Structure 1
């Protein structure tokens, strides 16, 4: 269950947070996240290491993601149930924005 404080912090979500949670629906390490985000945004978003690892650290502390294993120095992350719930809320918010933008008066 998402507490009100987390919802207040992450909703609405930054693009960085959104794309990290989206990427971590499957297990990935940091560099793989950067590549995936760049690929799915056709290069529009290029996450730098400072932004990525700072956000990963915050999300881990907030229990939105977890480390599932470590391969040498590489940490492999995935989204937790709480992270998936927040991602779902954000997707619904974006869908509502899109739907409302299509309305004409």
Structure 2
């Protein structure tokens, strides 16, 4: 897998602690992103379908609440591995950027040889 887009990363992160239904995923993504990512229902369900097709999540169970079907999703083993791999790549990238920034000096200054 070539890296997760941020919404997919946040959806998988939302499911890391256990199964959630769609609206709960939306609210958890907002919380995890410090309210910077807001998923519309259509966007979320398209992403959930794609992540299911990719084998990263699966339906955990369904229940009827006030006459409406509520479907809960959970991470699969592959989803957990993909989320962990993406988090590790982010850590490596952040370390690299921090090292570069420490050695960069003022903007426009020549780099030491």
TM above 0.5: yes
Q: TM-score range by the shorter chain?
A: 0.7 to 0.9
Runs of 4+ in 1 over 3 A off after TM superposition: none
- Residue 51 of structure 1 corresponds to which residue in structure 2? 43
| Structure-2 separation of matches of 1:52 and 1:93 | 24
The structure showing larger relative contact order (alpha-carbon pairs under 8 Å, at least 6 residues apart) is: 1
Q: Could you state the TM-score of these two structures normalised by the residue count of structure 2?
A: 0.81
Say which SS state the counterpart of residue 24 (structure 1) adopts.
Answer: helix
Partner residue, 1:30:
22
Q: How many residues align?
A: 96
Q: Does 1:42 align with 2:34?
A: yes
For structure 2, the 5+ residue unaligned runs are 104-113
* 2:58 alignment partner, SS class: strand
TM-score, structure 1 normalization: 0.87
The structure with the largest alpha-carbon Rg is 2
Q: 5+ unaligned residues in a row in structure 1: which ranges?
A: 1-6
